[in-house]
Amino acid sequence: MSIRPLAGLAMAVLLVAAACSSSTSLTGGAWKLTGFTEVVPASANVVPDADQSKYTVTFNADDNVAVVADCNNSSGTYTAASSPGAMTITLGPTTLAFCPEGSLSDAFLAKLGLVASYAYDGSDLILTQSDGGTMSFTR
């Protein structure tokens, strides 16, 4: 048996593993909102592709978070378990621009303040709120 094919296979496995792990890391880029659910009233909402970049959250390695909420921006801090589990987001300074009708800005910021845990669904990030609602994000 030749070592060369095994070395190539090992390298391929490492590259796939690295690609998978980097796509499921909190840090490393902005997460775009793709949808959210609410418990009361019960609803499931999809954010159109064209609007997803208007609602983003970026988790930095220094435990700071940067948020784009349509025409507003916010920053703050977060705590997260080292693997999916408990999470809190505490927003600080937020701009107070008046966003156009239909904006999710206020609701998005409020939902982030209710985050209680995080998990991954494939390469998507799911934030679960203390009231049972969820927010789904992709990169």
pLDDT at 121: 96
The answer to whether the predicted template modeling score (pTM) of the entire model surpasses 0.75 is yes
Could you confirm whether domain 26-138 is CATH 2.40.128.270? yes
Domain boundaries, the chain: 26-138
- pLDDT of 9 strictly over 80: no
Which tens digit of pLDDT belongs to each residue from 81-119? Answer: 988 899 999 999 999 999 999 999 999 999 999 999 999
Concatenating the DSSP letter of every residue in the chain gives: --HHHHHHHHHHHHHHHHHHHHHT-SBSSEEEEEEEEETTTTEEEE--GGGGGGEEEEE-TTSEEEEEETTEEEEEEEEE-SSSEEEEEEEEEE----PPTT--HHHHHHHHHTEEEEEEETTEEEEEETTS-EEEEE-
Please tell me the predicted confidence (pLDDT) of residue 102. 94
